[in-house]
Amino acid sequence: MSFENLLTKTENGIHTITINRPDKLNALNKKTVQEIGDAVKDAIAESAVKGIIITGAGPKSFVAGADISEFVGLSVEQGKTMAKAGQDVFKLIEESPKPIIAAVNGFALGGGCELAMACHLRVASDNAKFGQPEVNLGLIAGYGGTQRLTQLIGKAKSLELHMTADMLTAQQALQFGLVNYVVSPDQLIIKCLELFEKIKTKAPLAIAGVIASVNAYYTDGVNGFDAEVTEFGKCFATTDFKEGTTAFLEKRKANFTGK
Ligand code: COA
């Protein structure tokens, strides 16, 4: 599928989605949000894809937020619809059974910070900046930011960032546990691929089970321990479980097929 505001490519099983509006610092207009959802669905459905990288075009910005020009004149109901549409796409990312890494190559503000937080892992370049500056516009975060930032860095710092609109440097984001790694810009994609080289050698259905179980911790009305029991049990019906245990006993590397 081709997109108006995204570039996509698959290489060695890793699908890269690049948000491509560099003149607008990759701000997320409605069309881009919808295209991200479509691109992620495509990548999940494509059996050759083992992992997904989401990044922004250009050296300056991952995503500088939702497209502010589309906010003008919205009603309460239209504002709610906009937030729900973004939240639905970001939930799709969070619940993807295939691992998704945000390669944060600059500003990750508002919807950009929220997009990065919906991914499973975050690698930031050392020029990245994170923040939820919506209060500067008389708004609050609408794409899950009040929830995911609180989950990732705790209530006190989350409230502070949402209320002050302050930005975190990449190093501060690392210190607060918002990102997994900080690297130089030229190493950003290389670090993501290095993480995928490890993950790709593991059983894909087990990786999906890890994602579902960890997500269950944050899901209202779901007991995460029960979810873990279910996901653990499901592994015993897989060919990869048999391959993994047999390979261990035979002292060889497992060759997983995702079945
Ligand atoms: N929505 C729409 N357009 C945006 C945007 C956004 N969130 N963020 C940046 N842009 C556009 C600017 O309007 C400008 O477009 P123009 O050249 O047509 O005027 C272009 O991207 C470059 O941005 P500019 O502000 O000139 O770059 P800068 O380096 O001076 O500042 C930022 C960078 C990120 C600090 C600044 O763009 C900014 O504060 N953006 C908004 C961040 C925000 O509030 N995000 C949350 C939205 S809910």
Give residue 64 CA to ligand 1 midpoint distance, Å. 6
123 neighbors 55 (Cβ within 8 angstroms): no
- CB of 68 sitting under 6 A from ligand 1: yes
109 neighbors 166 (Cβ within 8 angstroms): no
- CB of 165 sitting under 6 A from ligand 1: no
Residue whose CB lies within 8 A of the most ligand 1 atoms, among 24, 67, 114, 161, for a mutation test: 24
pLDDT per residue over 105-115, tens digit each?
999 999 999 99
Catalytic member of 114, 197, 228, 250: 114
The residues pairing with 17 across neighbouring beta strands, listed in sequence order, are 8, 54
CATH superfamily of 6-199: 2-enoyl-CoA Hydratase; Chain A, domain 1 (3.90.226.10)
**What's the pLDDT band for 28 if we cut at 50, 70, 90?**
very high
Among this protein's residues, is 70 annotated catalytic?
Answer: no
The residues pairing with 66 across neighbouring beta strands, listed in sequence order, are 28
- CB of 109 sitting under 6 A from ligand 1: yes
* Residues in Cβ contact with 43 at an 8 Å cutoff, skipping those fewer than 6 apart: 8, 10, 15, 17, 49, 52, 98
Does 82 score more than 90 pLDDT?
yes
24 neighbors 67 (Cβ within 8 angstroms): yes
For 126, phi and psi rounded to 5 degrees?
Answer: -70, -5
Query: In one letter, which amino acid is 201?
Result: T
pLDDT of residue 164: 98
pLDDT of residue 1: 79
Q: How far is CA 235 from the centre of its chain?
A: 25
pLDDT per residue over 156-197, tens digit each?
999 999 999 999 999 999 999 999 999 999 999 999 999 999
pTM as predicted: 0.98
Dist. CA 10–CA 248, nearest whole Å: 31
Give residue 97 CA to ligand 1 midpoint distance, Å. 33
- CB of 25 sitting under 6 A from ligand 1: yes
**What's the pLDDT band for 87 if we cut at 50, 70, 90?**
very high
- CB of 66 sitting under 6 A from ligand 1: yes
Does 50 score more than 90 pLDDT?
yes
